[in-house]
Structure 1
């Protein structure tokens, strides 16, 4: 496990025990396809608390159903991000982990390279849009009949020959 220095990038910040944390962590381990956003909120809340919390306490504070909190807490405990004290009700405590640990979990879930995949997709989409624009411009430039090219400078006032006059067509 990593030391405290590696946690700083992903460590929760802000908030108080009375105010749930609102900051979003940027690590891909908290994507829906990995541990999920509820795990992130619960982990932040545990970090902000000096005491161990039960699933019902976390549920009330965060507005998440108690069964969802329990299920999420089991995943956090399994991955070493929280501890579960014996007894009833079960009480959970925060475990500080380094980025290396979060990376291992993200790799297990298949989301470690998520940011790179998103950046690659955006790049491909931008290239596709640029190619489409170039095709449309080429098509537009070839569709203009001879002698009807667009003027190189904008017209200062409308030309009367370009205005349709319905009365002039009536015979």
Structure 2
């Protein structure tokens, strides 16, 4: 095998391995997404949370850790935050499990509206927005809890796929 063929083969192998690392976009799942949205709206104490699967973990705007190796230096143990905020640990656990199962990695809630982030790179993300009252498809950017959001797909009356900055 000559040098050029070897380089092309290595490039193709590298490209194939990188493609597998990029997650396939998740599709809207009516029952699962609605169960999660209803669970979030049914309780008032947790308004921001992620699924705790990534390096940085957050609960109600507070950086948390599950063990001594997790999170940043200023992170607090989950049980300490749950105790100090008087959160029901069963609800926090149920939310985490539902986030992980649906792959809706994190959420932020305001009133009856929830912005779910699925994935992203640096400051550009994508996800879904849910509103119990319904959402109107609009392609202009708007602000939601410090995030710039733009609807990119009309899923149904209550759900829209969104770009997030």
Q: TM-score, normalising length from structure 2?
A: 0.28
Larger Rg: 1
Q: TM-score, normalising length from structure 1?
A: 0.27
Higher normalized contact order (CA 8 Å, seq sep 6+, divided by chain length): 1
Select the structure that is richer in helix: 1
